[in-house]
Amino acid sequence: MNDNNTYKVGIIGFGPKGFYGFERLIAYLNEAEFSRAIQIHIFNNTKFLASGDVYRTDQPEYLIMNYTNRNINSWVLKKPYAPATSTPDFVTWLTGNKIADAAPGMYAPRATVGKYLEACYQFVLEQLPKNIEVVVHIGTVTNVYKKEEAYELKYVDAKFRQEADIQCNKMLFTTGHHSFKAQSRKNIMLDNKIEFVYPMDEKLSHITKDSLVAIKGFGLTAIDAILSLTEGREGSFKKHDKGILKYIPSGKEPNKIYPFSRTGLPMVPRNGLLTTDTELHFFTKEVIAELKQNRPVSFNYTLLPLIKKEFYFAYYSVLFKNYGHQFYFDEDFTVIENQVQYFHEDFPECPVFNWDDIVNPFKDEPKLSSIVLQVYIELLINEARLGEDKSPFMAAVSTWRKISPIFNEIYSFGGLDAVSHKEFDTFYFGLFNRLSYGPPVKNMQKMLALCKAGILDFSYVKSASISFNDDKSKISLHIKNGQATDISYLVNATISRGKEGGFKNELYQNLVENGLIREFENKLITGYKPGCIEINEVGNAIDKNGNVNTDISFYGTPTEGITCDNDTLSRTRNNFASVWAKSTCRAIKKRDGRTENYEREENVL
């Protein structure tokens, strides 16, 4: 291709979000029937294109998804349709490739999802218009700066560690959690402290058998790390006649694994069953649309009461049904409460809905024991097996999944006052994730089996802290009562969220220094910086002077904090990919002097 006349587009980060942007761009370019040469430069840290770090295809099979096959689809059924040899959803692809566990309600290995994503990428490449060239760069982009009418990208090649420059006219940044919010490399390289666990075969391989390992976090990433250090070391789980799992050690595991977190609570597991799609009654689109007219909104005083009512109504809808009673909605909440009062008078043995018990049943306990956690996990497993249609508890906690898309509309772009914004980010985001987006029951059964085997130890699970000696060669895990244990390794199994105080990643620090982006600050009533980039409502960068730069767009993880809950695989949540692709086509047409209307609209948020 003639380089001087070639329009160049850069996609920085090429996991699922990068692929979604690429697919939409190809679809729009194909529809526009350009004759000019177009290059699409793809930059990714690894060779796992479209699958990315989370779904890379070299992961072991025991690392599985936390939502079912039926919810996975790489394609959008909107014009312009993708020019691809095939556009199967995940279940169709599994079935066509005769892959086991293709049922809609199953939880597939993440590596299998990665293979699906990579196959979808190939389907698009196979029908690539002749004037479009895709250039792949495996390496790390470290800097971007303006150069005349384009931008110079500096990147370091992953294999040869050589620095190179590429010019691009337009860019989409879809960097994931690790590359966007990376910690200092000094911490990452300490032998006894692992700051990021993926890929686990590499990052956890030097942890020796019979050692003592502390794992920060007790969410999905922590479960992955625990399984990697046990099942991933040739341990196995055997099922008893009653369906209870028992762990059979291989002798290659650590002696003890100590998870610890702020609350000490495990995530609520899920069973994968298709549930009744109940509607919301209080936290509705109509209510939120009205609240949006009077921003900022208080989370505690305005939104939380609506969320509690939804949990309450979902809980009693199932409880009433279990006893053959009909639970009626009424706009007057006292009428609903009266129904509940009469019900409990008739059935005093039934548990009463209690928000605090759902949020944290051990709030007033300064520490938790392995026995207490074991009993609680057994309770969660039993509730999850019942499912949302039979368990009042599961019906209540699943409510957030219905509320979340509507909440995003009011959270995004500073819809909450600054105090509420900070409180949601630091407390409620984690709470609702724990309640509503937990692991499959199978994985929680494995945690229980490891606890009974004496490998998983909950002695420090709640409110533990870590201390180091002067040269950081020794690590101690301790709790307030003075109990302490010297540990061999500390594993950070949390996924970083934005924090106040700027960006730790080199690329984003340089973007700020070059004036191409600035940090977002919520200035409503007080002030709060969630640690994310400021963008406009279609994902374009806001530069240091407050101007919109349509040449630079962000999608996915870099927008967290100004948008909420960017589901890695979602094609609809905070969908800046479509508007970016259309904007890129418009820019090319403008350069070519084409002025025809190009007004197809797609749902962006």
For residue range 549-577, what is the model confidence (pLDDT) as tens digits? 999 999 999 999 999 988 899 999 999 99
Position 148 scores a pLDDT of 85
Q: Is residue 102 part of a domain?
A: yes
Mean pLDDT of 298-326: 97
Cα separations (Å) of 164 from 138, 428, 512, 552? Answer: 12, 43, 21, 20
pLDDT of 447 strictly over 70:
yes
d(CA 30, CA 182): 36
pLDDT of 116 strictly over 80:
yes
SS3 476: strand
pLDDT of 327 strictly over 90:
yes
Q: Is residue 278 part of a domain?
A: no
503-525, pLDDT tens digit by residue? 778 999 999 999 999 999 999 98
d(CA 251, CA 236): 11
Q: Is residue 280 part of a domain?
A: no
Position 287 scores a pLDDT of 95
Is pLDDT larger for residue 498 or for residue 163?
Answer: 163
pTM above 0.85, yes or no: yes
99-115, pLDDT tens digit by residue? 988 999 999 999 999 99
pLDDT of 13 strictly over 60:
yes
Strand partners, 7: 38
d(CA 298, CA 575): 26
d(CA 323, CA 317): 10
Position 470 scores a pLDDT of 78
Instruction: Clarify whether residues 487 and 508 are in a common domain.
Output: no
Instruction: Clarify whether residues 419 and 466 are in a common domain.
Output: no
Instruction: Clarify whether residues 175 and 260 are in a common domain.
Output: no
43-55, pLDDT tens digit by residue? 999 999 999 988 9
Identify the band that residue 546 occupies on the pLDDT scale cut at 50, 70 and 90.
very high
Rounded to the nearest integer, the mean pLDDT of the chain is 92
Helix axes 441-452, 370-386, angle to 10 degrees: 150
Instruction: Clarify whether residues 28 and 174 are in a common domain.
Output: yes
Instruction: Clarify whether residues 581 and 564 are in a common domain.
Output: yes
- Between 179-183, 373-377, 382-386, 490-494, the lowest mean confidence (pLDDT) is in 179-183
Instruction: Clarify whether residues 340 and 215 are in a common domain.
Output: no
d(CA 233, CA 236): 9
- Domain extent, residue 506, equals 3-181+498-592
Identify the band that residue 277 occupies on the pLDDT scale cut at 50, 70 and 90.
confident
Position 565 scores a pLDDT of 85
Position 596 scores a pLDDT of 58
Position 189 scores a pLDDT of 44
Instruction: Clarify whether residues 111 and 232 are in a common domain.
Output: no
Instruction: Clarify whether residues 235 and 140 are in a common domain.
Output: no
Is pLDDT larger for residue 281 or for residue 591?
Answer: 281
Position 85 scores a pLDDT of 94
Q: Is residue 506 part of a domain?
A: yes
Instruction: Clarify whether residues 10 and 109 are in a common domain.
Output: yes
Is pLDDT larger for residue 49 or for residue 240?
Answer: 49
Is pLDDT larger for residue 4 or for residue 406?
Answer: 406
Mean pLDDT of 128-144: 96
Mean pLDDT of 332-337: 97
Position 139 scores a pLDDT of 95
Identify the band that residue 449 occupies on the pLDDT scale cut at 50, 70 and 90.
very high
Q: Assess contact for 74 and 15: CB atoms under 8 A.
A: no
Site of tokens 């058998």: 209
Q: Is residue 518 part of a domain?
A: yes
Residue (of 48, 37, 39, 38) closest to 13 by Cα position = 48
DSSP state of 297: B
Instruction: Clarify whether residues 390 and 462 are in a common domain.
Output: no
Q: Is residue 276 part of a domain?
A: no
Q: Kindly report the length of the chain.
A: 605
Instruction: Clarify whether residues 167 and 21 are in a common domain.
Output: yes
Q: CATH no. for residue 256? A: 3.50.50
Helix (H) or strand (E) holding 442: helix 441-452
Cα separations (Å) of 225 from 221, 452, 473? Answer: 6, 18, 22
Residue (of 223, 218, 481) closest to 365 by Cα position = 481
Q: Is residue 597 part of a domain?
A: no
Position 603 scores a pLDDT of 47
* Cβ neighbour number for residue 380 with a 10 Å cutoff: 22
**Radius of gyration (C-alpha) of the chain in whole angstroms:** 25
DSSP state of 70: G
Q: Is residue 448 part of a domain?
A: no
Mean pLDDT of 487-505: 79
* Cβ neighbour number for residue 53 with a 10 Å cutoff: 20
Q: What's the burial of 16, exposed, middle or buried (CB within 10 Å: 0-12/13-18/19+)?
A: buried
pLDDT of 212 strictly over 50:
yes
Domain count of the chain?
3
Position 601 scores a pLDDT of 44
What percent of the chain is predicted at pLDDT more than 90?
A: 80
Instruction: Clarify whether residues 413 and 478 are in a common domain.
Output: no
